[in-house]
């Protein structure tokens, strides 16, 4: 059997990045304007899909300007400075909850290009729930040997339910800078969403097992089922990468072929907060979209959205 490649990080820990069976061909891409059904079908089969030209140049410029402005004006929010947050060590920079203080970002939460594809995958806009929105940057020399193949949140019934789709959680990664060989690219293992470990996926998929790096220009969006195995590949230590990450959950109760009802997807985190302007939006459809509340959100709402309660929450401090 082919053994996992192992890269040794600076602290001596083993950080394997897959089995080295890397796809030679780039994955197909789909237009979010006129290929929604084709994108949905590819996602259903493979657990991910790549959408081209999702962001206009003006949006790419705006979001990169936002990075520059907030990294200078609010360095602590990015983990810059002396008291770096534990989740920033070797992983690059993360601005965890920018929606709390920047209404200028609201239009991106249901972006006109990628969101219709997300809605198609979940079976309708009324089933899509907001979970999380953050910005990330892998700067020069960051993250080498720091990330293994892994999956995000998963539901145990994915092994037995019929049908499998719609998936439980979905993440959209929008590239804000060009990603080319040498850049720390996002990488997925197609069809690995029904396996418990990467080894199980390697054994179960057999000769079809592939690790697929996604090299693409700024403005590209990758949608992936959080249950598939994925990673950020090590770069060359020179090229940097900026990405916007947004997570969605499925709302509503679904009948299945196995005579039970699938409940709504559980909350993704116990700390993420939605600002009052979105959680209590005047538009009922927008309120529904932002209705997937965790306990932290419930407590913040009950307090009247006080700064004191917000500042007591993880990653919520102003």
pLDDT the model gives residue 16: 53
pLDDT the model gives residue 12: 32
pLDDT the model gives residue 236: 85
Tens of pLDDT, residue by residue over 275-291, are 999 999 999 999 999 99
pTM, full prediction? 0.92
pLDDT band for position 166 (cuts 50, 70, 90): very high
Q: CATH 2.60.120.620: does it fit domain 13-268? A: yes
- Torsion angle in degrees (nearest 10) through CA of 73, 95, 111, 158: 180
- Cα separation values, 262 from 155, 250, 259, 298, Å: 11, 10, 10, 24
Q: Which residues contact 191 (CB under 8 A, 6 or more apart)?
A: 45, 46, 47, 201, 205, 208, 228
- Average pLDDT, whole number, for the chain? 90
Tens of pLDDT, residue by residue over 44-85, are 999 999 999 999 999 999 999 999 999 999 999 998 876 655
Check whether 5 has a pLDDT greater than 50. Answer: no
pLDDT band for position 265 (cuts 50, 70, 90): very high
Q: How far apart are CA 30 and CA 276, in angstroms?
A: 35
pLDDT band for position 260 (cuts 50, 70, 90): confident
pLDDT band for position 8 (cuts 50, 70, 90): very low
Domain ranges of the chain: 13-268, 269-318
pLDDT the model gives residue 14: 37
Structural contact between residues 269 and 261, judged by C-beta atoms closer than 8 angstroms: no
């Amino acid at each position: 059997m082919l053994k996992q490649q192992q890269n040794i990080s600076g602290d001596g820990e083993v950080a394997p990045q897959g089995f080295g069976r890397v796809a030679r061909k780039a994955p197909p891409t789909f237009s979010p304007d006129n290929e929604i059904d084709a994108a949905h079908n590819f996602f259903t089969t493979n657990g991910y899909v790549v959408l081209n030209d999702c962001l206009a140049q003006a949006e790419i410029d705006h979001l990169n300007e936002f990075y520059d402005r907030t990294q200078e004006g609010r360095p602590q929010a990015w983990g810059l400075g002396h008291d770096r947050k534990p989740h920033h060590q070797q992983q690059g920079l993360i601005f965890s909850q920018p929606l709390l203080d920047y209404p200028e970002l609201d239009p991106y939460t249901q972006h006109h290009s990628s969101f219709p594809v997300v809605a198609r995958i979940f079976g309708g806009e009324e089933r899509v729930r907001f979970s999380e929105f953050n910005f990330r940057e892998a700067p020069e020399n960051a993250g080498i040997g720091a990330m293994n193949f892994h999956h995000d949140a998963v539901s145990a019934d994915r092994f037995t339910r019929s049908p499998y789709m719609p998936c439980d959680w979905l993440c959209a990664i929008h590239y804000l800078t060009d990603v080319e060989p040498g850049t720390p690219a996002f990488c997925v293992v197609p069809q690995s969403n029904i396996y418990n470990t990467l080894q199980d996926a390697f054994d179960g998929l057999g000769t079809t097992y592939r690790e697929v790096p996604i090299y693409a220009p700024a403005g590209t969006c990758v949608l992936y089922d959080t249950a598939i195995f994925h990673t950020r590949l090590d770069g060359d230590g020179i090229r940097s990468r900026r990405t916007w990450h947004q997570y969605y959950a499925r709302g509503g109760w679904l009948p299945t072929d196995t005579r039970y009802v699938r409940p709504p997807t559980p909350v993704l985190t116990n700390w993420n907060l939605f600002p009052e302007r979105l959680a209590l939006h005047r538009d009922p459809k927008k309120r529904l979209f932002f209705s997937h509340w965790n306990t932290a959100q419930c407590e913040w709402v009950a307090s009247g959205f006080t700064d004191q309660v917000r500042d007591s929450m993880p990653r919520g401090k102003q």
